[in-house]
Structure 1
Amino acid sequence: MVKCQVVMDALERIAPRHLAEDWDNPGLLVGSPAREVSRVLVALDVSDLVVRQAIREGAEMIVAHHPLLFKPIKKIRTDEPLGHRLQLLLQHDIAVAAAHTNLDIARGGVNDVLAEAIGLGKLSSFVITSQDDDGRVESLGRIGSLPQPMTIRDFAEQVKKALPTKYVRFVDAGDRPVRKVALCSGAGAEFIAKAAAMGADAYVTGDVRYHDAQHAAELGMHVIDAGHFGTEFPVVQVLAERLREELSTKGHVEVVTDHKSQDFFTIA
């Protein structure tokens, strides 16, 4: 066993908290740093399904990408979903931590995993979030290139096959071949204009709205909406592997993954 704080220290090395956006809420959200941990469950969300898996498999800690607690809460109603989830976590003494935008931004984090999955190379920064005195830049998203140009339809098919999603939506902006691609995992439609300004032929993200798609078409840039779940869930396995490496010399602790969660959206 190791202390919960040892897991938090490992998570800090993987996705330093200082990288997180100011509005975010990463870190230890439920439980005590002194909690003894022998099994850690890594997940995208702290859903009812994930909490039940943690209880069933004896995990004393959940490490998720999305924070369970994001906005201040004024009451804990155990007859409502969040309150009931918190009740179960406290009853079973399960700690919960999150690495959110810090894991999006971190090297080897969500966006790098997404870029590798869909076949991009020669990656560089996209939406710069910080720059230190040595000129090291951190950013949300990535911009990279495909080995060979593709049609938007072929690239959309490649993205669909690479990610845990049954479908993707895409904006076909014409005959423009796809070579340079920008991406931002999760919900990144706000950066469509930036992707176009940086010369991207296509932009991959999730949660794209109608008028976002219209704007992309007007800019002459293809957009692929592969879903919030589809663009982020691949990091779960990678984060678990990195935690195993970080914890391998710290004591006996098993790292397992959420293996049943699926996108809430499906198609008829």
Structure 2
Amino acid sequence: MVSVQEIIDIMEELAPRSYAEDWDNPGLLVGSPAQETARIVVCLDVSDAVVQMAIEQGAHLIVSHHPMIFHAMKHLRTDTPLGSRIAELVKHDIAVFAAHTNLDIAQGGVNDVLAQAVGLEGLAHFVVQGQDEAGETYSLGRVGELQEPMTIAAFAAQVRDALPTAYVRYVSAGARPVQRVALCSGSGAEFIAQAARLGADAYLTGDVRYHDAQHAVELGLHVIDAGHFGTEFPVVECLRTRLAAALTERGLTADVIADTQSEDFFHVI
């Protein structure tokens, strides 16, 4: 058994809360630090299916990437999806902890996992956020190099095959070969101009809109939209592995289980 506080302490080392953006809401969102559990579920979203999985598995802690609560709540209505989910968590003594933009930024977090999955090497900072107390620079995204240049169509196919998605959308800015790639997991279209200024041949992110694509072409930058889910879900298994290893290093005992059943909300026909 481990306490929720012991997991919070581990997560603070893996993804310091100080890295999180001001608008974000990471941390313990439901439950008590004193809550104990012999099993932990790691997921991208705290969905009804994930809550049911935690109940069935006897888990009393869910560690998610996306916070299930973003804004102040003035009431808790159990006839709403969120209110019903929170009531079910409380009923079964299940705590919820989230690491969001701090896990995007942290070394070994969402963007490093994404970069490794799609074949980038020699990673450097992209969208610098600041420096930590040790003077180390930290950034929201990453930029790296492919071993060999390739066409945007070939790289898009490589990304599709590497990620948990059945499709990607790509924007071609001409015959420019792709070798230097910038990326930002989730929803990062706002950084298209920064990727172009950095000299990237292509930019990988999710949630790209029509006029974002138009702007990228004007800047001579290829763009691949692999979806919010596709660019972030790979961190779930990685975080499960790192949590399990950290528990072992500390002589603590708890099973850590990854959600493997969740799927993208979007389908293509």
Q: Deviations over 1:77-133 (max 9, x none)?
A: 111100000010000010000000010000000000000000000100000001247
Aligned to 1:24, the other structure's residue is in SS state coil
Select between 222-231 and 249-258 the one with higher mean Cα deviation. Answer: 249-258
Residues 151-166 of structure 1: pairs in structure 2 closer than 5 A: 151-166=151-166
Identity %: 63
Structure 1 residue aligned with 2:255: 254
- Counterpart position of 1:97: 97
| Moved segments of 4+, more than 4 Å | 132-135
Residue type of the alignment partner of 2:28: L
Opposite residue 262 of structure 1, the aligned amino acid is: E
What secondary structure, in the 3-state scheme, does the structure 2 residue paired with 1:187 have?
A: coil
**Aligned position for 1:3:** 3
Alpha-carbon distance in structure 2 between the residues aligned to 1:212 and 1:58? 45
| Structure 2 residue 203 is matched with structure 1 residue 200 | no
Q: Contact 1:126/1:182 (CA < 8 Å) preserved in 2?
A: yes
Matching residue of 2:47: 47
Distance in 2 separating the partners of 1:228 and 1:77: 28
SS in structure 2 opposite 1:62? strand
The separation in 1 between residues aligned to 2:133 and 2:45, in whole angstroms, is 35
Partners of 1:161 and 1:106 in 2: CA distance: 25
Instruction: Encode CA deviations 1:45-86: one digit per residue, 9 max, x unaligned.
Output: 001111111111111000000001111122211111000000
CA distance, structure 1, for counterparts of residue 210 and residue 238 of structure 2: 32
Distance in 2, matches of 1:133 and 1:16, equals 11
Question: SS in structure 2 opposite 1:66?
Answer: coil
Once residues 124 and 252 of structure 1 are traced to their aligned partners in structure 2, the CA distance between those partners, rounded to angstroms, is 36
What whole-Å deviation, never above 9, does each CA across 1:141-160 have from its counterpart, x for those lacking one? 10001000000000000000
- The one-letter amino acid paired with 1:253 is A
C-alpha deviation, 1:136, in angstroms: 1.8
Cα RMSD, aligned residues only: 0.9
CA distance in 1, matches of 2:163, 2:175: 25
Query: Amino acid of the residue matched to residue 22 of structure 1?
Result: D
Q: TM-score, normalised by structure 1?
A: 0.98
- Alpha-carbon distance in 1 for matches of 2:50, 2:257: 11
Quote how far apart the aligned CAs of 1:134 are: 6.0
Match of 2:267? 266
Structure 2 CA distance for aligned equivalents of residues 192 and 133 of structure 1:
29
Q: Which amino acid aligns with 1:166?
A: A
Contact residue 2 and residue 250 of structure 1 kept, 8 A: no
Distance in 1 separating the partners of 2:219 and 2:227: 22
- Equivalents in 2 of 1:25, 1:132: separation in Å? 19
What is residue 228 of structure 2 aligned with on the other side? 228
Match of 2:75 in 1: 75
Structure 2 gap segments, 5+ residues each: none
Superposed displacement of residue 2, structure 1: 1.1
1 CA distance for matches of 2:241 and 2:83?
Answer: 31
Amino acid at match of 2:254: V
Q: Paired residue for 2:84?
A: 84
| 1:173 corresponding residue in structure 2 | 173
The one-letter amino acid of 1:189's match is: A
Normalising by the residue count of structure 2, what TM-score does the alignment of the two structures yield?
0.98
Distance 1:216 1:142 in 2: 18
Establish whether residue 122 from structure 1 lines up as the match of residue 126 from structure 2. no
Distance in 2 of aligned mates of 1:77 and 1:65: 24
Unpaired runs of 5+ in structure 1? none
Distance, in Å, in 1 between the alignment partners of 2:124 and 2:58 is 41
Superposed CA deviations along residues 191-214 of structure 1, whole A, max 9, x for unmatched, are 000000000000000000111011
CA distance in 2, matches of 1:119, 1:171: 19
Describe the shift of the 1:31–1:133 C-alpha distance in structure 2 as closer, same or farther (beyond 3 A).
Answer: closer
How many residue pairs are counted as aligned between the two chains?
A: 268
Q: Which amino acid aligns with 2:91?
A: Q
2:53 alignment partner, SS class:
helix
